[in-house]
Structures are given as C-alpha cells and as structure tokens.
Amino acid sequence: MVIKKADILKGINDPEEIMIESLGDTLWLRPLSNKELDILDEIEAKGMKSYETNSKSRGRIQGETVAKGKLDIRLVTVNGAKARDMKIQMSLDNPKGEEWTLEEIGMLHRDVTDELIEKINELSGISVTTAEIDKFPENE
C-alpha cells in the first residue's frame, strides 16, 4: 500500500502530549514543517554578514578548507533568541494547546526553553546522535 499525501501532512497538525521534566508535567507540542524550520533558519542567519570558503590545496594540506566569516554578534544573539522563542510558539500553537505570546515564552526559565527546544527538534525529525558527534572531525 502506498502512503497518501494527506497521511504524511497530517503529522504536522497532529500534536503529541510530551512530558517536560523541568515543568513536572506535560504540554501538547506539534512537529514543525520543513518550511517553518527554513523560516527559523533564515531568521538565525541574519547576523551572518558574509561567509567564504576556499578548498584549493596549493600551499596547504590537500583537502584542507579555509573559511572566513563576518558576524554581527549582537544580531546573532538577538536573532537566535527570536528564532528559539518562535520555534516554541509555533509548536505550542496547535489544536490541543493554549495560545502563547513571544513575550510569555521569553519569560520562561532557560532550563524549560532548552528542554522544549530539544523535544520540538525530536518531534520535527531534528536530532544529533552521539555517533554523529563522535564522527565529526576535529582540528589537530
């Protein structure tokens, strides 16, 4: 049997009751769509002024990549917080949840927002495993 488009898209508006340990209770959260995640990534990237890479090997170790970037640290911080709060608001905005404002989300304790982001990422299919971290190359 072939899965139908409606069944695939249904999951985005199908919230799950998730235990939030830092609150000692559950909240209804929904996964975020790819489009929503792209919007949040775009907001976070606004503090990056320019980013260049150069993977030519002349005069360097073969395969070594040199990267240069310019950041506006204030904008990176502000936009990162805005994207974090919007991610939480989008996930809480579901048929079984209550409506939250960005101001209310901004008043939550850091441990609560960190846990909410972790749970929302898991629901949305974003996760980094220990194996992936272990495989990441380090500078020596």
- Could you tell me the residue ranges of all domains in the chain? 18-46+72-127
pTM: 0.76
Q: Are 26 and 18 in contact (CB under 8 A)?
A: yes
In angstroms, rounded to a whole number, what is the distance separating the alpha carbons of residues 21 and 138? 33
φ/ψ of residue 126, rounded to 5: -105, 110
Residue pLDDT, tens place only, 54-104:
665 555 556 667 777 777 888 889 999 999 999 999 999 998 989 999 999
Residue pLDDT, tens place only, 100-116:
999 999 999 999 999 99
In angstroms, rounded to a whole number, what is the distance separating the alpha carbons of residues 32 and 20? 18
